[in-house]
Structure 1
Amino acid sequence: MKPRLISFFLLLTVIASVSCKPNGASSKKEEQSKKETIAKQPNIVVLLCDDLGYGDLSSFGHPIIKTENLDKLAASGIRLTNFYSTAPVCSPSRVGMLTGRSPNKAGVYDFIPGLKKSEDNRDLVHLQAYEETIPAMLKTVGYSTCLVGKWHCSSRFNSDQQPQPNDFGFDHWMATHNNAAPSHKNPKNFVRNGQEVGEIEGFSSQIVVNEAIQWLDKKDGDNPFFLEVAFHEPHEPIASPEELVEKYMPYAETREQAEYFANVENVDRAVGRLIAYLEKNHSGNTLIVFSSDNGPETLLRYGEKAKHSYGSPGELKGMKLWTNEAGFRVPGIISWVGENKVSGTKDAVVSALDFLPTFAELSGANLPNRELDGESFKSLLDTGEFARSTPLIWAFYDAINERRVAMRKGDWKIMGRLEVDNNTLPHIHNLYDGNEALVKSAKLTDFVLFNLKEDINESENLSVKEATVFESMKKEFEIRYKELLEDSHIWVRNQ
C-alpha cells in the first residue's frame, strides 16, 4: 500500500476513534447508572382504599375517626394535599393506576358490573391483554409481585375468557371481583390464584394483610417486591368489629355512622400491622404509597345498600361519581420505611397515573413503548419539588354533576358540559359502536374556571374575571379532550 493511502486510512481510524468516544463513554455511564439503580431497587407497596373520602383520615381533618397509623405514616413521609385518583369511580381508577394511562384509552369508562349482556357492550369490558402494567414492568427487572384484595378490572372474573391478575404480572393474587361478600365480615368470595377460597373468618382488611404477610414470609430470595393491597373498606356493604363500633357510638348520630367510623379505623389497624412487619423485616428500602380509588359514596344514593355511607369530602365539592374535586381528589401519603429524604405536607399536583413512570425510574425498568399520561415524581421524593409538565384531564360520561369533563393545570381547573343539538349528552356507561358517533359529535360548552389554590371548594367561577387565563385554558382544554376522545377505546361485539 502506498504511503499516502496508509496515512489516509490512519487518519480515518483516528477520526472514527475520536467520534466514537463520547457515545461510548455516554453508553458506559448510562449502563453504570442503571446498574446502580438496580442495586438500590426499593420494595414498593401500594395501599389502596375503596371509597375513602378526602376528609376521612384524622391527618386530613376528620374530627372523630382515629387513624393513628396512617397519621404516623404521613408525619414520617409526605402528606399530599393535591393527590388525584385517575377516575371518580372504582374500575377505571384502578385501570388508570395500573397502566399510567387515562382509563378511557383502555376502554374502561365506569365501574364494571358482573357479567350480564347489555346493549352497550358493557359486558365485554375488561383490562385487555395488550395493556402494560406496573407489576409486569417491574417483573422485567427482577421483582416478585402480589395483589391482595379487590381486582374489579374485568367483567368475567376468574375466567379464562378474559385476562386475570396473573396475566398482568402478578405472581400471586388473592382477590375478589368487586366487593367483599356478603360483607367485610367473614367474606366468601375470595379467589386465590384461580381457586375459590370459601368463607374466611375475620374482617376483610385484616384478611388481606394476613395474606400479604404470609406471601412475604414465603417469598424466595432477597429480590425486591411489589405488593398491592387493595382494601374493600370503606365501600358498602360495611361490617366492623363490635368493640370499635361501641367506641364510636357516643360520637355518632346513628349506629350506621359509628359502623362507618369503625370501618375506617379497622383499615388503619390493618395498615399498622403491615407497617410493623415491614419495619421489622424490610426496613432498609421500602416505599409505601397510600391512597383511595375515588371519593366517598353519597349516603342512601342507592337506598338501604348505602345506609352506612358517611364518608367525608372534607372541604371539597361533590362526592364519588362527580368531576368536582371530591370525586377524585383523595388522601395521598408517600413514605419510605426507614429512610425518608423528604417529609411534610406538599401541595404538588400528583396523580395515581404517575405511579408507573415513578416506579420505572426507581427500579431501573424501561417504560412501556406507548404514550403515558403519568409523569415520574421521583424529584418529589428526592427534593420535595415536583411540577407537572402536562395537565390532568378526566372525561367521566356518567358523572352526577352536569360538567362531566374537567382539566387541572397548575392551580387552575376548567370544567365543561357536553352538548348535542342544544341538549346535554345523555349519561353513558360505555363507549361502543352504537354511541360512538353521538359522543364524538358532542361539543364542550358552558365552561367554568376555578383557582383551586384560592378556592378549594370551587365556589367562584372566574371565567369572566380571569378572562386571559380562561381563554388559554379553554383552548388547551378543547384540544386535549379531542385528543383523549380520539384515543379512547370503542367496544365492538365479536371484535
Structure 2
Amino acid sequence: MKGIILCKFSAVIWLLFICFQVSGQGRAGRAKARPNVIIILTDDMGVGDVGAFGGRLVPTPNIDRLAASGLKLTQYYSGAPICSPSRASILTGMQPGKWNFATYLDKKSHNRDAEQIDFLTPEAPSMGRFFKNAGYATGHFGKWHMGGGRDVTDAPKFDQYGFDEHASTYESPEPDPALTATNWIWSDKDSVKRWDRTAYFVDKTLDFMGRHKDQPCFVNLWPDEVHTPWVPKPEAGETPLKPQEEAAFKRVLIEYDIQIGRLIDGLKERGLFDNTIIIFTSDNGALPTFGGSRSGKFRGSKLSLYEGGIRMPFIVTWPGHITAGQTDERSELHATDLLPTLTKLAGISLPATYKSDGLDRSAVLLGKSSLRKKEMYWEYGRNTIAYAYPKPPHKSPQLAIRSGEWKLLMNNDGSNAELYNILKDPAETQNLAADQVRKKEELSQKLLTWWKSLPRLGA
C-alpha cells in the first residue's frame, strides 16, 4: 500500500515538475519573443534625400529596400526643426519645450541667450530607461546632443538615461575617443574617420545585439554623417571636395545608404531581422537644400517650421507584423508618439505617473490607418537673439500648430499669422488667414495658450 501511495506521490511530483518546466519555457519563450527595437535617427535628412520618398539626388537602394519591407508614412513630423529639441521629444515622448529645449545646445552663454537648458535633466522620462526597466538591453550608438560638449562638463552620463552601452560623438557627456581625438566635432586625427562613422555605429549595433541574442534589445542608432560637414572618403589622386558642396553630400549619402544595407544584412545573418522593429527617420529637415531638392515638394528647411523643416521621411518594418510594401498617406504621426507606440508594441507598461504628449499609434504602424485626434505643436525662436536662420524665404514664424487639415504659423506675440490647408496645399503656397478668419482665430488662441503654458528658465 505504501508503495502505491509513494508511486502516486512521485507521479504528482513529476507532473508538477513538468508543468513548471513547460511554464518556465513558456515565459522564456515569451521573453525572447519580445521584439528588438532600433530607432535609426538620421541627422539633417530631408524627404527629398530618399528614393522611396521621391528623392532623385542619388539612388538609395538600401533605404528603399527597407521601405519595401515595411510601411512608409508620409505625414510624420519631428518634434522640432533642429536637433537637440527634436531628439529630446523622441527620448521623453514629450514636447521639448517642457524640458526647456528650444534650439541646438551649445556653450552655456549661447544656451542662456536662447533661453534654454544646458542638458536634459535625468529626472525627465527616458525611452531608454523604460525599456531597460522592462528587461531590455539598451544601447545608444551615434549622436546625442542633449547635453555635454563645449564648456558643458557637468551633463549626466548615459547610464542615468537608462543606456547600458554607448558610443557617441563630441556633443555628448561621454564622447568616444575613437571619434574625438581633438576637442571638436571631428578631426583628421580621429582614429575612426568622418566617412567611416556610420559603419562604426552599425558595427557597434550589430555587435551589441549579437552579444544579447537571449535578451531583447533597444538601440538608438543615431548617425551624424548626413549632417555637414560632408567628408567623403578621398579617392586616389582627387582634389578634396569642399565639405558644403553638393558633390560631397552625394558621396556621403551613397555611403550612408550602403551602411543601412550592412545593418539589414547583418541583422539577417544573425537571425535578428524578423523579430526587430526598425524605425527609420530624421531629426529635422535638410540644410542646405540645393534649391529645395532635398526638401522634396515642401517649403522650408532645417530651422524652419514650414513642412520642409519638420515633415520627415518615416519607415517602419517588423516582418510578420507590419505588411510589406505599404504606404500610409492619411495617418499623422508625431515624434512624441514614438515612446507610447513602441512601448505598446513591446508589451511594456508605462508608469501611471508618466504623462506623454504623444499618443499610442501602434495600430497605425500595424496597418490600421487613422487620423490623429490631437493637435501637434512646435516652437522655434524664443527671442530674436539666437534664431536668425534660415534666411527668407525659408524663415518661418516662431510657432506652429497642426490641427486636422489645418496648419497655422505665427509669432509668439500673435503677429504674422499664416494659415494653410495642409492637405490641399502641402507646399504652403496659399496663406488663407484673411479668408478663414474664424479658423485662424480658433487656432491662434490654442497656439498662444500652449505657448504660454511652457516653462521659462528662472520663472
Q: 1:149 corresponds to which residue?
A: 142
Question: Is 1:328 the counterpart of 2:310 in the alignment?
Answer: yes
Which residue number corresponds to residue 486 of structure 1?
Answer: 453
**Hey, what does 2:337 align to over in structure 1?**
354
Q: Is the 2:32–2:214 contact (alpha carbons within 8 Å) kept by the matching residues of 1?
A: no
Matched, 1:459 2:429: yes
SS of alignment partner, residue 419 of structure 2: strand
Cα offset for 1:482? 1.9
The secondary structure found in structure 2 opposite 1:294 is coil
In the aligned structure 1, how far is the partner of 2:111 from the partner of 2:361? Answer: 40
- Which stretch has the larger CA shift, 266-275 or 119-128? 119-128
Aligned-pair CA distance for 1:297: 1.1
Matched with 1:394 is 378
Letter matched to residue 206 of structure 1: A
Shift of 1:477: 4.0
Q: 1:341 to 1:169 in 2, by over 3 A?
A: same
Instruction: Note if contact 2:100-2:116 (Cα within 8 Å) is conserved in structure 1.
Output: no
Counterpart of 2:327, as a letter, is T
Q: Determine which of 273, 284, 297 is the counterpart of 1:283.
A: 273
In 2: Cα distance, 1:240 partner to 1:346 partner: 34
Matches for 1:290-301 after TM superposition, within 5 Å: 290-298=280-288
Structure 2 residue aligned with 1:49, among 39, 42, 51? 42
1:183 is aligned to none
Match for residue 262 of structure 2 among 264, 273, 294? 273
**Contact map agreement 2:138 2:164 (CA 8 A) in 1:** yes
Q: Identify the range of structure 1 (395-404 vs 408-417) with the bigger mean alpha-carbon deviation.
A: 395-404
What per-residue deviation string (whole Å, max 9, x for no partner) do you get for residues 110-162 of structure 1? 10014557753868521101101111011121111101110100145898722
Match of 1:373 in 2: 357
Q: Which moved more, 1:347-356 or 1:399-408?
A: 399-408
8 Å contact from structure 2 (residues 264, 273) kept in 1: no
Q: What is the CA-CA distance between 1:480 and the residue it aligns to?
A: 4.3
Aligned-pair distance for 1:243?
Answer: 5.7
1:76–1:123 Cα change, 3 Å: closer
- How far residue 395 of structure 1 moved from its aligned partner, in angstroms, is 1.2
**Distance change (3 Å), C-alpha of 1:166 and 1:477:** farther
Residues 295-310 of structure 1: pairs in structure 2 closer than 5 A? 295-298=285-288
> Secondary structure in 2 aligned to 1:211?
helix
SS in 1 for 2:227: coil
In structure 2, the partner of 1:475 is 442
* Match in the other structure for 1:431: none
Query: TM-score, normalising length from structure 1?
Result: 0.75
Show CA shifts across 1:180-208 (max 9, x none): xxxxxx843599xxxxx962256111111
How many angstroms does 1:97 deviate by?
A: 0.8
CA RMSD for the aligned pairs? Answer: 3.3
Query: What is the total number of aligned residue pairs between the two structures?
Result: 407
- Pick from 95, 102, 119: which aligns with 2:88? 95
Deviations 1:16-40 (A, max 9, x none): xxxxxxxxxxxxxxxxxx9998674
- Seen in structure 2, the aligned counterparts of structure 1 residues 123 and 189 have a Cα distance that, compared at 3 Å, is farther
Aligned in 2, Cα 1:55/1:198: closer, same or farther, shift over 3 Å? closer
Runs of 5+ consecutive residues of structure 1 not aligned to the other structure: 1-33, 180-185, 192-196, 300-307, 419-442
2:125 is aligned to: 132
Percent identical among aligned pairs is 27
In 2, Cα distance between equivalents of 1:75 and 1:484? 39
Structure-2 change in CA distance of 1:117 and 1:340 (3 Å): closer
